[in-house]
Amino acid sequence: MSNEWPLWEVFIRTKGGLSHRHAGSVRAPDAELALRHARDTYTRRLEGVSLWVVPSAQIVASDPSQGGPLFEPAESKIYRHPTFYHVPDSVKHL
Amino acid sequence: MYTTELQKQPSRPVAESKAEKEPQELVDAFEARVAADEFIEPKDWMPAAYRRTLVRQISQHAHSEIVGMLPEGNWICRAPSLRRKAVLLAKVQDEGGHGLYLYAAAETLGTSREEMIEALHAGKAKYSTIFNYPTLTWADIGAIGWLVDGAAIMNQVPLQRTSYGPYARAMVRVCKEESFHQRQGFEIMMAMANGTPEQKEMAQDALNRWWWPSLMMFGPPDDESPNTAQSMRWRIKRDTNDELRQHFVDVTVPQAEALGLSVPDPKLKFNDKTGHYEFGEIDWSEFWNVVKGEGPVAKERMSARVKAWDEGAWVRDAAAAHAAKQHAAKQAAE
């Protein structure tokens, strides 16, 4: 039987006010050690002020081959962007 | 640090095996994406040969980082000052970190870390030949940082734009950290070269021994590197071995001059017309012997690695047992 430690995804908040961002992965037997490994592996140079670790198996991802049906419908809806609307230059604060 | 691709045989062409016959429209879409400099991500469709090439290259790269800790680790206790000791410790820790980023990147391709580590310990996986040379004096630590990490940086900078996303992202992180490695090495060389005559001699001796192996780090010449064309087309590699080697010579020779040391190559000369240095023949038979594990200290490196792994087994087992116990206690309480 393989006793390989499970994989965890590591997210770092680089400074207050920013959201956590994916940095990479570590292997660890439990959440506490995953945090310690993440700290040693990804924050040796003050890269962050906060860490998240998430079991990789818990992440649900969209299927890249379904990228078209998922994302393309937004392509034709350019009226969702402010630049779609023509207003006179002379009118301010719009 | 970096290993170039060490496979002497070309990868099997995709169409050769029937089992691997891949839908042409998927292959075409993939080739088009890569040609347009798009990044390929783990769940995207990719040709089996692309996946194989990446697993081999990324795992060799990871192994090189891990084995690369060994020649320098030997010198942590013998570093000449507390400052040098702290610096070397930080550098060795970085190399360990780089190995871990790369194992994680390789794992996204469907190989497991366990498999990769077992292959390394069983002597089935390659790692950079450079680590199979001994580190005889403190000046070697300077020469490794300056030349070996310098060559590594030259190899790794273009890999930040390699077509496989997780590999490219790992390289961005590695490159950010690597430049201190080279500078601390050069600083050691400077201190030695400006020290006593004996120290200067040690620095020259280290340059003499590490120069040619560093040039070999870029891999076989282009006309003997069967995978280069395919890897360039797939944007796994962005420059050829010979291009990178030339660039390394061009930037490093003036650095040696600044140190007041001489590069051990009687044929080395600057060509005014091309703006490049010309240099002597590389002894490739030595390179291939070292690849085959015949380097002066290949056996020593692997036995040190296996010993460290085996002696750490109880820690890994205890951590796993603790995790299982905590998990069971938590479930019982619920």
pLDDT digits (tens, 9 = 90+) for A54-93: 999 999 999 988 888 999 998 899 999 999 999 999 999 9
Cβ pair B100:A30 closer than 8 A: no
Contacts of B101 in chain A (CB under 8 A): 24, 41
Cβ pair A40:B97 closer than 8 A: yes
Q: What is the pLDDT of residue B19?
A: 57
Query: Rounded to a whole number, what is the distance in Å from the CA of A90 to chain B's nearest CA?
Result: 42
Where does the pLDDT of residue B20 fall: very low under 50, low under 70, confident under 90, or very high at 90 and above?
low
Going by C-beta distance under 8 Å and a sequence separation of 6 or more, which residues neighbour residue B102?
A: B58, B59, B61, B62, B65, B167, B170, B174
Mean pLDDT throughout A11-23? 97
Which tokens in the block code for residue B315?
Answer: 């820690």
Q: What is the pLDDT of residue A64?
A: 87
Contacts of B66 in chain A (CB under 8 A): none
Q: What is the pLDDT of residue B5?
A: 53
Higher pLDDT, A15 or B4: A15
Cα of first residue to Cα of last residue in chain B, in angstroms, is: 48
Where does the pLDDT of residue B291 fall: very low under 50, low under 70, confident under 90, or very high at 90 and above?
confident
Specify the pairing of strand B269-271 against strand A7-13. unpaired
Cβ pair B100:A26 closer than 8 A: yes
Q: Round to whole Å and give the CA distance between A38 and A44.
A: 10
Mean pLDDT throughout B212-240? 90
Q: Which of B93, B319, B322 sits opposite A44 (nearest CB)?
A: B93
Instruction: State yes or no: pLDDT of B326 exceeds 50.
Output: yes
Q: What is the pLDDT of residue B225?
A: 82
What amino acid is encoded at B269 in this protein? K
Q: What is the pLDDT of residue B3?
A: 46
Neighbours of A23 (CB within 10 A): 22
Could you tell me if B322 lies within 8 Å of chain A, comparing CB atoms? yes
Radius of gyration of chain B (CA): 22
The dihedral sign for the CA sequence B214, B215, B216, B217: positive
Could you tell me if A70 lies within 8 Å of chain B, comparing CB atoms? no
Query: Rounded to a whole number, what is the distance in Å from the CA of A88 to chain B's nearest CA?
Result: 39
Q: Find, among A30, A62, A68, A78, the residue nearest to B316 by Cα.
A: A30
Q: What is the pLDDT of residue A70?
A: 92
Query: Rounded to a whole number, what is the distance in Å from the CA of B312 to chain A's nearest CA?
Result: 14
CA atoms within 13 A on the CB side of B80: 9
Mean pLDDT throughout B34-59? 95
Q: Which of A30, A63, A64 sits opposite B323 (nearest CB)?
A: A30
Q: What are the tens digits of pLDDT across the range A22-48?
A: 999 999 999 999 999 999 999 999 999
Q: What are the tens digits of pLDDT across the range B145-203?
A: 999 999 999 999 999 999 999 999 999 999 999 989 999 999 999 999 999 999 999 99
Could you tell me if A7 lies within 8 Å of chain B, comparing CB atoms? yes
Q: Find, among B159, B146, B162, B165, the residue nearest to B203 by Cα.
A: B146
Q: Which of B169, B177, B323 sits opposite A29 (nearest CB)?
A: B323
Going by C-beta distance under 8 Å and a sequence separation of 6 or more, which residues neighbour residue B76?
A: B85, B88, B89, B92
The count of CB pairs under 8 A between chains A and B is 55
Q: Which of B45, B101, B113 sits opposite A27 (nearest CB)?
A: B113
Cβ pair B112:A4 closer than 8 A: yes
Query: Rounded to a whole number, what is the distance in Å from the CA of A30 to chain B's nearest CA?
Result: 6
Q: Which of B93, B101, B113 sits opposite A24 (nearest CB)?
A: B101
Could you tell me if A26 lies within 8 Å of chain B, comparing CB atoms? yes
Where does the pLDDT of residue B324 fall: very low under 50, low under 70, confident under 90, or very high at 90 and above?
very high
Q: What is the pLDDT of residue B14?
A: 44
- Which of B40, B46, B100 should be substituted to probe chain A, the one whose Cβ sees the most A Cβ atoms within 10 Å? B100
Q: What is the pLDDT of residue B91?
A: 97
Cβ pair A5:B320 closer than 8 A: yes
Q: What is the pLDDT of residue A3?
A: 74
Quick check: A15 and A38 in contact, CB under 8 A? no
Q: What is the pLDDT of residue B295?
A: 73
Specify the pairing of strand A50-55 against strand B276-278. unpaired
Q: What are the tens digits of pLDDT across the range B142-151?
A: 999 999 999 9
Mean model confidence pLDDT for chain B? 91
Q: What is the pLDDT of residue B126?
A: 87
Higher pLDDT, B14 or A30: A30
Q: Superfamily assignment of A7-80 in CATH? A: Phenylacetic acid degradation B (3.10.20.520)
Q: Round to whole Å and give the CA distance between B221 and A43.
A: 38
Which tokens in the block code for residue A22?
Answer: 């994916």
Domain boundaries, chain A: 7-80
Q: What is the pLDDT of residue B1?
A: 47
Contacts of A6 in chain B (CB under 8 A): none
Closest residue in A to B97 (Cα) is A41
Closest residue in A to B167 (Cα) is A24
Where does the pLDDT of residue A7 fall: very low under 50, low under 70, confident under 90, or very high at 90 and above?
very high
Query: Rounded to a whole number, what is the distance in Å from the CA of A8 to chain B's nearest CA?
Result: 10
Please state the φ and ψ torsions of residue B66, each to the nearest 5 degrees: -70, -50
Neighbours of B294 (CB within 10 A): 13
Q: Which residue has the tokens 């060509």?
A: B271
Neighbours of A84 (CB within 10 A): 9
Q: What is the pLDDT of residue B246?
A: 97
